[in-house]
Structure 1
Amino acid sequence: MHACCANRRHEAALSLGPAELRAEAQGVSAHLPGLILSAERLSHMVAPGAHGLRRAGPGEDFWQYRPAERGEAARNIDWRRSARSDGEFVRDREAQSAQTLSLWVSGGQGMRYSGDPERVTKVQRAQVLALALGMIALRGGEKVGLLGQPARAGRRQVERLAQAISASVAAETDGDAPLPDVLRPNQRLVIISDFLTDPSWVQALLARAGSIGLRGVLLQVLDPDEEEFPFSGAVEFRSLSGTMRHDSRDAAGLREAYLLRLAERRDWLLKHAQGAGWHFGQHRTDHSAAVALGWLYQVLGG
């Protein structure tokens, strides 16, 4: 049994299973407004005033006043601002260049895990983070979409994006992977997963991304139990897909080896991400979602 999967217990909480998630995503579901509301609140905590690219150029939003240069055209002078001083000033606007943000959230069965019924599952946290980040990008004038689906700009895309995230079909296996063939140039890509199953797909994805100049972020989302391995005594470990199981008489005796394997997996992900010019980050579901979103916003150039 893969050591990185050993902490998934049969008793894991399975809120919003595949069939339920698909049913609720059809039409105007009960889940959808809650997802949008949670993501909206989170996005405003991190970036209440999202903006475009921070440089002067054609755009609608004020950026800065600067002293007029010699030979500056009269139409560029802000005469009201200049009247308050001895010099002449130009009112620069901020350049806004529509970019494309593509999001991918793992639908592997392992993402449905929670070690505590009072704690959100990994996929619930990942979905809220993805939608909140999409909202920030949309407010900044970018086009946003799920990887492999049309990316659009504007307020209406928020609901489309929420519906697409909610309607994502869960994989039958513990892990899944995006297809490298759907990557396109001029995108920024955010991949959210637990990265606990075979990670060879990450190499293929980053190789394809590098060949077309695509940059992005890998964010690993884990449950606290997957971080700490708090098990002891006789424990039956079983993957949520039911394909793997392991009976242990002394679960505590597995902790050191498990934590070592987890550290090795993270080092591997960091090495490959940095080698491709990407970022790699970590988040656990009992920590602040705002901190994780703020990090994503920062590394993507917010």
Structure 2
Amino acid sequence: MNLASVTPAASSESGRTPLARQRGVRFIDPAALMRIKNLQMRARVVVEGFYAGIHRSPFHGFSVEFSEYRQYTPGDDLRYLDWRLFARSDRYYVKRFEDETNLLCYLLVDVSRSMSFTSTEITKHEYARTMAATMAYFLYQQRDAAGLVVFDEGIQEYLPPRHRAGHLRHMMAALQREPAGKATDLARPLEQIAQTVRKRGQVVLISDLLAPPDVLATQLGYLRSRGHDVMVLRVLDPAELEFPFTNPRMFRDAESGQALYVDPQTARDDYLSGFREHAEQIARICRDLKADFVVCRTDRPLELSLFDLLRTRMDVGRHPARNDRVARRAR
């Protein structure tokens, strides 16, 4: 049994405070956030916190990526340059028109059995669907078209990208449904998704990625070859990253159900070594494919995970103009 895919059968409580701070901004703790039962309201709280964080962070000058501007690219009409914005940010931006905001975004959410694991108060599935709901709400606010794919060993829900009054409500309802608890087969659903998604746009994969790296490389490579801008959000429980257990206990494979009695003192080094090797392979695959990659811990505020994604997309060679080029090709 691969220790990298084994999760403990028991769970423990977290002693964290309800709010997290970053540069004077307070973000709601994930455990407190999940007490908001309405998924759309929960998403709204995260989006509002994210915007508040942008205005009090080093990203303030770049918050235009999330508004009605985009970065200047050669060939743009110079009449639409915003010189006042240039004076504040030292970057050239042009105003986006309504037809330029019609980005197509596909949110791919893993609801397989391993996503139900938690060592705290929040399962990976709860965190993942809240992240997907947040991104859907965010896209709707920007007048972009969001679609949803919910999958385990196959596609369970598919809502094509739309920007209509009732579409966001349908997405929230689909995310709110409890999963069937099936195993993961990343290959089949991602292959189906690649064949189903015809128009090019953004593809956001939200999963724990407890699967062979070569499967991920093949399917993400196919999506990239079709011109999609791919983002990968890997949702992990802190116990999977740290293996903090000390006493012998029963561990159960979240996918197969196979149980194994383990002494953590002797297994810890092997587990962490195997997990890190697997994680490095996934990170390398995303880097080679030029897919944005972020690890989201379930004990970390969602706003900070969004900041991590924004930071990744602002790295060398990753800027708002890339998103707009993909969007224009999709039309």
> Is 1:230 the equivalent of 2:244?
yes
> Is 1:64 the equivalent of 2:78?
no
CA offset digits 1:225-246 (Å, max 9, x no partner)? 1111011232110123453221
The number of residues matched between the two structures is 252
Deviation of the 1:179 alpha carbon = 2.6
Q: 1:295 to 1:53 in 2, by over 3 A?
A: farther
Task: State the distance in 2 between where 1:296 and 1:182 align.
Answer: 26
Q: 1:242 to 1:93 in 2, by over 3 A?
A: closer
SS at match of 1:179: helix
The 5-angstrom pairing of residues 47-196 of structure 1 reads: 47=51, 50-54=66-70, 64=82, 93-96=95-98, 97=100, 98-116=102-120, 119-147=121-149, 148-167=158-177, 169-173=179-183, 175-177=184-186, 178-180=189-191, 181-196=195-210
Equivalent in the alignment of 2:3: 3
Deviation of the 1:45 alpha carbon = 1.4
CA offset digits 1:173-224 (Å, max 9, x no partner)? 1x24233222334220111111123343312221211221112111111111
* Letter aligned with residue 130 of structure 1: A
> Is 1:240 the equivalent of 2:258?
no
SS at match of 2:254: coil
Give the TM-score, by structure 2 length: 0.68
SS at match of 2:38: helix
Gaps (5+ residues) in structure 1?
14-30, 67-91
More helix by share: 2
Task: State the distance in 2 between where 1:63 and 1:155 align.
Answer: 32
Of 266, 269, 274, the match for 2:282: 269
Task: State the distance in 1 between where 2:3 and 2:228 align.
Answer: 32
Q: 1:168 to 1:216 in 2, by over 3 A?
A: farther
Task: State the distance in 2 between where 1:155 and 1:286 align.
Answer: 33
Task: State the distance in 1 between where 2:239 and 2:4 align.
Answer: 12
Q: CA RMSD in A?
A: 2.8
The 5-angstrom pairing of residues 192-231 of structure 1 reads: 192-231=206-245
| Ranges of 4+ aligned residues in structure 1 off by more than 6 Å | none
* Percent identical: 21
Task: State the distance in 2 between where 1:171 and 1:297 align.
Answer: 32
Matched-pair contact (CA < 8 Å) for 1:4–1:262: yes
Matched-pair contact (CA < 8 Å) for 1:32–1:163: no
